[in-house]
Amino acid sequence: MGDAVLVGGPPCQAYSLVGRSRMKPVQGAEFEADQRHFLYREYLKILADHSPAAFVFENVKGMLSSTRDGARVFGQIRKDLCFPGKALNDYQPRHRNVEYQLFPLVTSDSPMDGEEDEPPAERFVVRTEQLGLPQARHRVIIVGIRSDCVARGESVLSPLPAPSEHTALIDVLRELPALRSGLSRTKDSDDLWENAVRTSANNLLNEAGTLSSPMREEITRIRDQLQVPSSSRGGRFVPAEDVSSQYEPSWYADTNIGGVLNHESRGHMPDDLTRYLFVSVFGLVEGRSPTLADFPSNLLPDHFNVRSALRGGLFSDRFRVQLADRPSKTITSHISKDGHYYIHPDPRQCRSLTVREAARLQTFPDNYFFEGPRTKQYVQVGNAVPPLLARQIASVVADALGLAQP
């Protein structure tokens, strides 16, 4: 295939930490036999059949710790990616002897263990917040260069550039129109929303006796100064004059749009409005997102696993505010189910992130329009590799192969 490059990766359910934590207690030994551990072999078949000059292999960080029969899966995957044709004993590829050298995309904090040694597994983890992206997304990414390209001296893979400072979430979202949340399971209007948030504020002030003085002051200020944003709940298109991002404005901006796409708030139940108000104010005052142990008892959700979460179990942070002065947490497809893990940092908006806000944190340009129902739009955003990261990787690979820059 000449200078072709293969980009992709196997399904991640067998490797993801959340997936494993949910599957293993239920399935027991069946989890070890899960055939999805071997779906990466379909990737090997493409390499062995078509012999591209390079490949970019991506998967979740949990791949590094995933085991089968007591052995780390990642070690076997690395060996097989080096010699994909020879790894396929039950398959007759077109290029059985094709060979690849594997390269990490990031530099190490310590010197390499010697030029002849393989990079440690952790070197293949790309942490997007360390690359200046506005999101903390950790993924295993392996670049493979066909060995004959390396032998010709045409391939020296440069590491991805790493700026000295993180990009804060607010630098990406600040210029987007403010929105109010909707009200679910009841009538919804601007006036009803304003009354509902004021009621939530009063409930916090009256019933949550453990609130700190700074939190009480902030909640009181929000209640007394609350106004419905001029764009109300937004929509599939929200007219706006200047929505440029402070981070990489030329990447995001398209002046032909004349507004914002896919920027519409969800509806939230009154009880969750109170929780969102509490969580966002807590983040503003305390500089961190609260766990359920920080919640006043009357705000705890009525879920069967809350007691376990209070003891430090899974999902103790089921309500999470994204802090304005830091990169966001990983945007995943779970954002399509509810917004509890993606609460906007501005308490005056009292809502979860819109599709456009999630897309900006994923570095989708503003002119990328998401089709389908809003739930499906969130899935499209959450399942993606950040496009700006993809572009940076493409530039590194193109340079390694001596190709024109994308």
Question: Which domains, from first to last, does the chain contain?
Answer: 5-166+388-401 (3.40.50), 170-370 (no CATH)
What residues have CB less than 8 Å from 314, skipping those under 6 apart? 21, 305, 308
Among 176, 101, 17, 38, which Cα is nearest to 400's? Answer: 101
- Residue 358: per-residue pLDDT: 98
**Sequence-separated (6 or more) residues with CB below 8 Å from residue 229:** 177, 178, 179, 180, 349
User: What pLDDT score was predicted for residue 20?
Assistant: 47
pLDDT of residue 43: 92
Report phi then psi at 134, rounded to 5. -85, 25
d(CA 172, CA 341): 18
Give the per-residue pLDDT at 113: 44
Of 235, 367, 215, residue with least CA distance to 278: 215
Q: How far is CA 330 from CA 174, 333, 393, in A?
A: 19, 10, 19
- Determine the Cα–Cα distance for residues 17 and 60; give it in Å rounded to an integer: 9
Instruction: Name the nearest CA neighbour of 282 among 183, 216, 206.
Output: 216
Mean pLDDT per 10-residue segment, the chain (406 residues): 82 56 52 66 92 93 78 88 89 87 82 58 94 96 91 71 93 97 94 97 84 94 97 97 93 94 95 95 96 84 60 66 97 90 97 98 97 96 94 93 75
| pLDDT at residue 109, rounded to an integer | 60
Kindly report the number of other CB atoms within 10 A of residue 56's CB atom: 20
pLDDT of residue 14: 58
Instruction: Say if CB 339 and CB 363 are below 8 A apart.
Output: no
For 279-306, what is each residue's pLDDT tens digit?
999 999 999 999 888 888 888 876 656 5
Task: Write out pLDDT tens, residues 343-370.
Answer: 999 999 999 999 999 999 999 999 999 9
Helices within 152-209 (DSSP H only)? 170-173, 190-207
